[in-house]
């Protein structure tokens, strides 16, 4: 009886932990183009490739990974972290990117 109760408690705790950390749900993904004021943009072309355009219009293809709400772009100058916000915007490098219509 005690073992059955302990097993059920462990399963319940595990389910609560998975729900709280988001691990029980599918990974969040980004796709399409996101624009920031001033002309910068991020265009997610696949699950690993993003085209980064700076305010001057220069575009560089980079690779990225997404873990949770953090998007890490592996640029030739180093890694750049962005955050996917709950409202669907992407924030990073003191800019807010919104999904293009």
pLDDT tens for each residue of 14-49:
333 334 444 444 457 899 999 999 999 999 999 899
Mean pLDDT of 67-96: 96
Domain carrying residue 80: 27-99
Enumerate the H helices of 1-101 as residue ranges. 2-21
User: Residue 93: which CATH number?
Assistant: 2.40.128.290
* 40 falls within a domain: yes
Tokens matching residue 33? 């183009």
Tokens matching residue 32? 């399409």
Helix (H, G, I), strand (E, B), or coil: what is residue 90?
A: strand
Output 41 or 2, whichever has higher pLDDT.
41
pLDDT at 1: 54
How many domains in the chain?
Answer: 1
Output 29 or 60, whichever has higher pLDDT.
60
């Amino acid at each position: 009886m005690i073992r059955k109760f302990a097993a059920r408690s462990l399963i319940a705790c595990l389910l609560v932990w998975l729900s709280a950390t988001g691990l029980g749900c599918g990974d969040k993904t980004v796709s399409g183009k996101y624009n920031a004021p001033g002309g910068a943009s991020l265009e997610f072309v696949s699950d690993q490739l993003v085209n980064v355009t700076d305010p001057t219009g220069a575009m560089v293809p980079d690779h990225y990974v997404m873990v949770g709400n953090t998007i890490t772009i592996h640029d030739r100058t180093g890694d750049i972290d962005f955050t996917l916000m709950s409202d669907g915007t992407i924030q990073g490098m003191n800019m807010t990117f919104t999904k293009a219509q």
